[in-house]
Amino acid sequence: MRPILYLHERNRWHITVAFLALTVIFAVFILPYEEALLAEAAGNQIAPDLRIFYMPKDLQTIAGRFSEAGRQQYIISRLRFDIAWPLVYGGTFFTLSSHCIKYIKQGHAFLVFPVLAVLFDLTENTAVSIYFHNYPTHNILIASIAGLSTFLKWLSLIASFSMLVTLAAIALRKWRVERAFRQ
């Protein structure tokens, strides 16, 4: 928790604005481009990281539906952009939540959710890439790690978003009350 609090204490608005700008750039330009490349190479198969949950046998089925070129494109896309993307969305959730927490002066423990989302996303990308690289060999341990990481990533993302909305609502209410007392 100490590194999280260290980042929280040093968070400034220019950092948050930079993360927001990167999020928009990724959402508008980079993600659609990468998804189009993957769809072309994989024959419009749904990537495992877009699912909420899957079992090891499901990952084997997914990998089998991808062509060899599709599996290679998936691995390349994870190396090319999906290392940065979790850091971008995680940084956005973290910095926005951090500002709300600084204002309301409570809720520091909630900052763990964006960090967990990033870690689970990177674990998921690594595990699926290893599995796809070694396909058709079925490694149940790697497939299990991939499926669990995917589920925990989505759970952490939902918690991060819910936390941000809740913190923002509390901060807005506090601001309105303080503004009313000043008038």
pLDDT at 98: 97
DSSP state of 71: H
Rg (CA), the chain: 19
Using an 8 Å Cβ cutoff, are 156 and 120 in contact?
A: yes
Structure tokens at 57: 């046998």
Give CA 92 to chain center in angstroms.
10
pLDDT along the chain (183 residues), means of 10: 87 96 97 88 84 96 93 92 95 97 93 98 97 97 98 98 97 92 82
Q: Looking at 38-84, which runs of residues are DSSP E strands?
A: none
pLDDT at 145: 98
Burial of 170 (0-12, 13-18, 19+ CB in 10 A): middle
pLDDT at 37: 86
Structure tokens at 72: 């290679």
Quickly tell me which residue has 């260290």 as its tokens.
6
pLDDT at 40: 85
Q: What is the pTM of this model?
A: 0.92
Quickly tell me which residue has 């925990």 as its tokens.
152
Q: How far apart are CA 183 and CA 180, in angstroms?
A: 5
